[in-house]
Amino acid sequence: MAVDEVTVEELEELLPSARLVDVREPYEFEEAHVPGAVLVPMASVPDRLDAFAGDEPTYVICKTGARSLRVCEFLEAQGLVGINVYGGTKAWSLSGRELATGSA
């Protein structure tokens, strides 16, 4: 299943109005995350589909883009639109962009 992707550069242009969901574990999120991201750990996604529902797509991020890609595939199978952030939080950080810390 093909999933749409955006780069961190494209994501930055969409923020803060885009819905961004981080699917990493809480400890990872607390260490560093893209400002404005909402935490929905990957294991809880099936029970939290409301976080992805709406007229606009959801941009999904993890550490490197692998977990978020799997979540996007799952969302597509549920009839929802998930767009993967290529390279994830690591690419965001390596590009020198600001990171937030702390819990959601």
Q: Does 99 fall in a domain?
A: no
Is the separation of the CB atoms in 73 and 49 below 8 Å?
Answer: no
Please tell me the total count of domains within the chain. Answer: 1
pLDDT tens across the length of the chain (104 residues)? 689 999 999 999 999 999 999 999 999 999 999 999 999 999 999 999 999 999 999 999 999 999 999 999 999 999 999 999 999 999 999 999 999 999 86
Active site residues: 62
**pLDDT for 87:** 98
Instruction: Let me know how long the chain is.
Output: 104
Task: Compute the distance between CA of residue 73 and CA of residue 88 in angstroms, rounded to an integer.
Answer: 16
Host domain of residue 43: 5-94
**CATH code: domain of residue 64:** 3.40.250.10
Which long-range contacts (C-beta less than 8 Å, at least 24 apart) are formed by 11-17? 11/59, 11/61, 11/85, 11/92, 12/97, 14/59
